[in-house]
Homo-oligomer: A and B are copies of this chain.
Amino acid sequence: MKKLAAQPLYKQVIREVMTAVEAGEWQEDESLPSEIELGVRFGVSQGTVRKALDSLVAEGVLYRRQGVGTFVAGMNDFLARGHFLPLAGADGVAPKIELLGCVRIHAGEQLADILGLRRGAALWQVRRLLRVSGVVIGLEEMLLPEAGFPNLDIRRIRELKGNLRELCWRDFGVRLRDGEVRYRAVAAGQNEARLLMVDLNEPLLQLVRLARDFEGKPQVWSVAWLKTETLAFEPAPFA
């Protein structure tokens, strides 16, 4: 491997592996070649491969099992990976996702700015419900450019159990990385109150995120409203 663009070798390896993962060279939960073999393939030492894989593991792209191998990780949604915990208690539960619907809308000025589109660009608006042991606990609204995800099919989303992150990857080759989350407390509006079955103006936890792909391009804007009267939200480890 050459020193292109003065990038360190391990960063080049990260890119190469990422590209291969995105190209589907190894399926989900399928093991990659061993660190030594990857080293031979990229012309670097095992230590360098390891350093590269370390960051991909830290980012949740891969996972390792000692003595067994390194595997491609699944693509659970950010919220699906989070935990909902009883206020006083110990163990948390991950929510189940239920697709509500998917419609085509047009970007307002602000949203267009955020997603790097022109004003009025076509967007998909996907809405989902979150349930913990059957009880509705959250509502999520996600917006993604139609240009990048043409012919987004509601039945397809349903097939993947509402897992939009996995869909973006499988059907459109876009691998989303988690973005930073902003937290707010807001009063429930008409919509939220109805869908979450709470009173108007009841406090809801609002999570706002911008998910980017691995090139850093903004891809999905998401706003979620969570009912936290009896359960607190704890985000998943990775940023």
Contact = CB atoms under 8 A, between A and B. Distances in A.
Interface of A: 85, 87-88, 110, 180-187, 201-206, 208, 226, 228, 232-235, 237, 239
A103 B187 CA distance: 33
Instruction: Say what secondary structure dominates the interface of chain A.
Output: strand
Given A110-B88, A234-B180, A203 B186 contact: yes
Given A88-B110, A110-B88, A234 B203 contact: no
A159 B184 CA distance: 32
How many copies of the polypeptide does the oligomer hold? 2
A208 B181 contact: no
Contacts of A204: 185, 203
Contacts of A208: 232
A93 to B, nearest CB: 13
Given A203-B203, A203-B204, A185 B228 contact: yes
Contacts of A234: 180-183
A201 B232 CA distance: 18
Given A204-B203, A205-B205, A239-B237, A232 B182 contact: yes
A181 B228 CA distance: 14
Contacts of A87: 184
